[in-house]
Amino acid sequence: MAEGVAIAIIFLSFTLLTGEGGMISLCQITFAGIGGLATAQVNATYHLPVLLGVVVGGLLAGAGGLIVGTLTARMGNLYAALATLTFGLLFSAIVFQFNVFLQYGSGVTVSRPSFASSNVTLTYVTLALFVLVSLFIAAIRRSTSGLALSAIRNERDRGPVGGNQRGPDEDRDLDAGRGDRGHRRRHVRDLHRSCPPPVI
């Protein structure tokens, strides 16, 4: 049960990234894997508290997301999807296959926090985290950053980010304006031709 809620927390990232920003990323689960592996290494290898491992894993996953996001921010949806898919496949095929993580297929055992030793308690803790993350995302949607993400999504609907593409309504208005100016020029020219110059 707790595992399902944890996966639901991962899927909340799509609400912010794709729902608000209109950006397609196919490596979200890779960042979750980076955080999970870092947490396991901090707890099992260095024998530090698991909550400290969660913080370290979150920082590493956030750094990876920042790098990938910076590289793909100005790409179109198709190219961003291909780039993030390639990143996820590379990590899955190379980094996640290191024996320090696999341990010959047995994996790494991570201890639970002392306050969540039972499955039921761990499920409730994960549900509480799900609610907190949901409230955090809702606050971001109403913030300046959320409005910026919405602006990026609207710009992507009209064309590439940073481009000067116009929508069909703007093109029609521009063509109509050009037609009106051309008609006025022709009218003035005809008036000059029809009215002879004054004789002094």
Q: What is the pLDDT of residues 39-94, one digit of tens each?
A: 999 999 898 999 999 999 999 999 999 999 899 888 888 899 999 999 999 999 99
Q: Label residues 24-44 b or e (16+ Cβ within 10 Å = b).
A: bbbbbbbbbbbbbbbbbbbbb
The answer to whether residue 37 scores a pLDDT higher than 80 is yes
Positive/negative CA dihedral, 104, 105, 111, 117: negative
pTM beyond 0.75, yes or no: no
**At 168, is the pLDDT very low, low, confident or very high (cuts 50, 70, 90)?**
low
Compute CA 150 distance to the chain's CA centroid, rounded to the nearest angstrom.
Answer: 11
Domain range annotation of the chain: 2-158, 169-200
**At 161, is the pLDDT very low, low, confident or very high (cuts 50, 70, 90)?**
very low
Residues 6+ apart with CB under 8 A from 20: 140, 141, 146, 149, 150, 153
Please state, as a whole number, how many other Cβ atoms lie within 10 Å of the Cβ of residue 122: 19
Compute CA 112 distance to the chain's CA centroid, rounded to the nearest angstrom.
Answer: 30
Predicted pLDDT of residue 54: 93
Say how far apart CA 80 and CA 27 lie, in whole Å.
11
